[in-house]
DNA sequence: CAGATTTTAGGTCACTTGTCCTATTTCGGG
DNA sequence: CCCGAAATAGGACAAGTGACCTAAAATCTG
């Protein structure tokens, strides 16, 4: 198989395993087994574990970038786009209840490990933060656009964490509704 | 030294290390070194790593219980007590910015590790959840007391996560103010 | 088809981990 | 003071880890 394809398979498998079991707790052997290659071959594609982490973060950045592009083309108003962001919680409900937020949990882990990849992981937050800020600016909230973005980002994080702790409750759906209501009320009070 | 004192020292050191570096990433050797005892002695007090985890969670539960008792005796109204809960974020601002929420990050990690201690860790959430529910009931929000408790719990979690990601910003203080304002507005709309 | 390059497999290495054992030291009660 | 129990120290062990190496296989190129 071409090297790039194998590489993609590895990154995809590592992405899942890092999400489901954590970065530190995922071993070379596990990833190799999922991909169906030997540990030796693994080293041909990635020399260190940190290299895989970088590749996984890069993939996650790219995936989110394309997702946001689709949002931009499918939805007319910035409010509708922010609503799409909020609704990720519903779109990925099952996985979030099982493993939490892929961005938040990764950052939290790397932060605790004092891992150099912490900065790259923060860029995942930045991606949404800046995008959200832009949407709120377009909604007329130029002054506090960043605060609003951070606010909704934080709410999403908290909902993901507690939905992970209490998966068998309507909590997630309730909170999404509240966030959408908050967004609508915000629209009405726009033009700052 | 008496066994119980050494045991306490071990649990206290493990509590800190689990918080700062994570449970999985903290080794017997590290804890022993902090406490100043040998690895062999360690095994005399705790036979497995899971036993230490249980003891740490038990200690955290106990610490929070006493904290909430003090809140109950120092503050008259339930609203003031909930305000104290919200203000933990400010009280522990430095540690939260450095390591996140000790309860949330522990649960998240154990969840990812598929560790049996996940259930015990959830009881830490339960402790606050039930206490908050009671306060909202006392405020007259009998019908949606649990939802309100979960809401403020989730907000706190989200704020802690993002404060950890962006420690050099006024974000945490801003959000605490917003949560307190939310609480005050809620009081006005009470008597459900 | 033949040779060179890419890709893969499997084994080795040093290190760390949790667990466990045994010998020694410390300490409290008779 | 002395002895038995409590507490400690230090090492041993198997298992798993990331990292690394070399030889074989697969693939591509001329």
With an 8 Å Cβ cutoff, is A154 touching chain B?
A: yes
Per cent of chain A over pLDDT 90 is: 92
Distance CA B87, CA B82 (A): 9
Across the interface, do A108 and B164 touch by the CB < 8 Å criterion?
Answer: yes
Across the interface, do B105 and A108 touch by the CB < 8 Å criterion?
Answer: yes
User: Residues of B with CB below 8 A from A105's CB?
Assistant: 108, 112
Summarised one tens digit per residue, pLDDT across range B58-77 is: 999 999 999 999 998 888 89
> Per residue in B93-132, is it b (16+ CB within 10 Å) or e — as a string?
bebbbebbbbbbbbbbbbbbbebebbebbbebbebbbebb
With an 8 Å Cβ cutoff, is B182 touching chain A?
A: no
Instruction: Output the pLDDT for position B192.
Output: 44
Summarised one tens digit per residue, pLDDT across range A26-53 is: 999 999 999 999 999 999 999 999 999 9
Choose between A188 and A131: higher pLDDT: A131
Average pLDDT on A69-88 reads: 93
- Whether CB of A21 is under 7 Å from strand C: the answer is no
Terminal Cα-to-Cα distance of chain A (whole angstroms) = 57
User: Residues of B with CB below 8 A from A96's CB?
Assistant: none
Structure-block tokens of residue B123: 């009881």
Distance CA B74, CA A138 (A): 46
Q: What is this structure's pTM?
A: 0.95
Across the interface, do B157 and A158 touch by the CB < 8 Å criterion?
Answer: yes
């Amino acid at each position: 198989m071409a090297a790039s394809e194998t590489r993609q398979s590895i990154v995809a498998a590592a992405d899942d395993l890092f999400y489901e079991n954590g970065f530190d707790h995922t071993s070379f052997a596990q990833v190799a087994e999922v991909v169906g290659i030997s540990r030796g071959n693994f080293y041909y594609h990635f020399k260190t574990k940190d290299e895989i982490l970088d590749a996984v973060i890069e993939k996650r950045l790219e995936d989110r970038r394309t997702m946001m592009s689709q949002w931009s083309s499918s939805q007319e108003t910035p409010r509708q786009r922010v609503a799409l962001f909020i609704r990720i919680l519903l779109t990925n409900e099952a996985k979030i209840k099982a493993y939490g937020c892929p961005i938040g949990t990764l950052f939290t882990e790397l932060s605790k490990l004092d891992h150099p990849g912490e900065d790259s992981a923060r860029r995942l937050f930045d991606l949404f933060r800046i995008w959200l800020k832009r949407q709120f600016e377009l909604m007329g909230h130029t002054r506090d656009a960043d605060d609003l973005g951070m606010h909704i980002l934080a709410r999403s994080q908290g909902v993901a964490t507690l939905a992970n702790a209490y998966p068998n409750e309507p909590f997630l759906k309730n909170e999404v509704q509240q966030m959408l209501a908050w967004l609508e009320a915000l629209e009405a009070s726009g033009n700052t």
